[in-house]
Structures are given as C-alpha cells and as structure tokens.
Amino acid sequence: MSLNDTVSLQSTSSCSSDLENVTWPLGKDIYNTMKNQWLKGNPYHSKDGQDSFFYLFKDDGKLLDSYLTISNLRQLRRGKDIKEGSFYWDKVGEYTNGELRMADIEWPGGRANPPHGTPDKFHVRVVTLNEAPFIIVSELDLDTGKCPGNQGVVCDWGDITVTENGVKKNTTLYKCCTGYCVDLLNKLADDIGFTYTLYKVRDGKWGIKSVR
C-alpha cells in the first residue's frame, strides 16, 4: 500500500462479532504505512536554514528522535514605543539527537543567574506547662539572658507587670526550659527543618474541660 492508493477503512468486525475472532487485516497495513512516513519538524528552518530534521518512527511506533526548542520569556527594554511590562519569547536553546544546546537565560528580574532558593524551614508555636521531667523550668542567667550553660531553650512564661521609674508596664517573663520534651523538640526540628517558640499556656491548665 502506498500513499496514493485508495482503500476502504471499513472494518470486517462489528459490535456483534465474536470478540475472540475479531480481526482487521487492513489495520496492520495502515499502521505500517504510518510508521514508514516522515514529517519535517523543525519550526525554525525558514529562519536558520536547518532544513534537515525529520520526525521518523521506530518499529514499535515511537519517535526515533525529537526536536525541542527552548524559549525564554524576556522583558522588552523600555523605550518610547514600548509599554512597561511588555514581554516576548526568545529562542535560547534546542534539544535534538540526545544533545542540549543552550544560550544565556534571562531570569526573573532581568538577572543573569538563577535566584537563590528560599529556606524550607517553617516556624511553629508549642504550648506547654512545667511538668518535670518532661518540661523543667528554671531561671535565666542574669548576665547573658540565656539558659545556664546554653542548655535548654528560652521560653515565654507569661505576661507580668513591672515598675520602672515609677511607671508600670506590661512585659513578657522569660524562663529557661529543659527536659525530655525540649530534647525531643530539638531533634524533630533538626530532622524535619523547623524553628519553634515554646510558651506557657496562659490559664495554667492542660487542655479544656469536657462537657461530658
């Protein structure tokens, strides 16, 4: 069968045919004919003169090779006839024959280099109470304002009222928290990648009273 042949595509099978004996002999001929065709596929051949790329197919019907063009969205430089925020697609590379050829890319913001990654860490607030040995509360070092020997974490232990120069003001009382739960939190923070703030529950109670 050639491209100039005229054939009927009607199948010899129907919905009432015996499924075990359904055949379509012409289907194999059509499939083989399609595999043996080629298609000119370089969309830029009229511009760059590369007129030699064709899409061909393997025996299993898959493409023998692909031609991919890579475009970069760039911002037009400002001028009297160019509106701010105007963009255009510029061809910067191509992939064919298993090879990638690339030119310079303009990254967001007009930068020549890719942006730095943002940190994946997130911050959580963890509520607690003084319950040794899980949470042990002690005073901070008066000189450093940190936990003695840097063992533990500084935790928010509620709001207090202080008097300075005869003036009362509200401030936060900070303590040093250590214990099993602090060690566990530090381990989880390192493994998962997060930071946390430890604070005392304001009503001083565990959970809420059940109506039942």
Radius of gyration (Cα) for the chain, nearest Å?
36
Q: What is the pLDDT of residue 78?
A: 64
pLDDT at residue 48 tops 70: no
Q: In whole angstroms, what is the distance from residue 107 CA to residue 113 CA?
A: 6
Model pLDDT, residue 41? 63
Phi, psi of 30 (to 5 degrees): -65, -45
What's the rounded Cα separation, in Å, for the pair 67 and 79?
Answer: 35
Of 185, 113, 197, 107, whose CA–CA distance to 156 is shortest? 197
Amino acid at 73: L
Domain spanning 122-200: CATH superfamily: Periplasmic binding protein-like II (3.40.190.10)
| Structural domain boundaries in the chain | 122-200
Higher-confidence residue of 1 and 41: namely 41
pLDDT tens readout for residues 152-191: 999 999 888 888 887 888 888 999 999 999 999 999 998 8
Residue 86 to residue 79: CA distance in whole angstroms: 11
**Residues 6 or more apart in contact with residue 206 via CB below 8 angstroms:** 129
Express as a percent the part of the chain with pLDDT over 70: 79
What digits encode the pLDDT tens for the residues 68-80? 889 998 888 766 5
Lowest mean pLDDT among 7-16, 22-31, 96-105, 202-211: 7-16
pTM for the full predicted model: 0.42
